[in-house]
Amino acid sequence: MRFNLISDESRKLALRMDLVDIYTQRWKPGTPFDLEIVRRTPHRSAGMRAYYFAAVLPPFMEELGYDPDEQELFHRQLKITFFQIRPDKRGIYRGVPSVFSNESDMPVPDKVKFVEWVIRKAAQNGVYIEPSEGEHEHKTARVGSIAQREVCPRRLSNRAGGPSSEGS
């Protein structure tokens, strides 16, 4: 069972023991339990998702010659390349992690790294992505300025199933 707690001003946790007692009543008396306290990391990223699918992917796709209806395919190819997913015996890429779906358990800092990587790949292909105007504005703007200074015109690698602009 998961209990969400917040510490108060004196850095003490307010835990409703009646809820814990209700939960533990299903086991025999004397059952040992492990209690783990971890700091919560945010997983919701609706603003970043909107920015990624509205401002990052469309110009990048257009530069590489993708049609707008191929957005899911392009996004999947980027994930396969970023997470270095290898195909199985049949050539199918399995276990590609979900980045922006509601079921995604990926922490927001990892999502930020993915979006920054896509922005750098776009810059390497000559596409300038406008910095976001939200909670991730500072970090994305910094990466955008770094990506503009990169001089190596590498293309996305085909060895991991990534898109390439050659032949487009």
pLDDT tens digit string along 96-134? 999 988 778 888 899 999 999 999 999 999 999 988 765
Q: Angle at CA 41, nearest 5°, toward 25 and 134?
A: 140
Q: What pLDDT, in 10s, does the model give residues 14-34?
A: 777 888 888 888 889 998 888
pTM of the full predicted structure?
Answer: 0.58
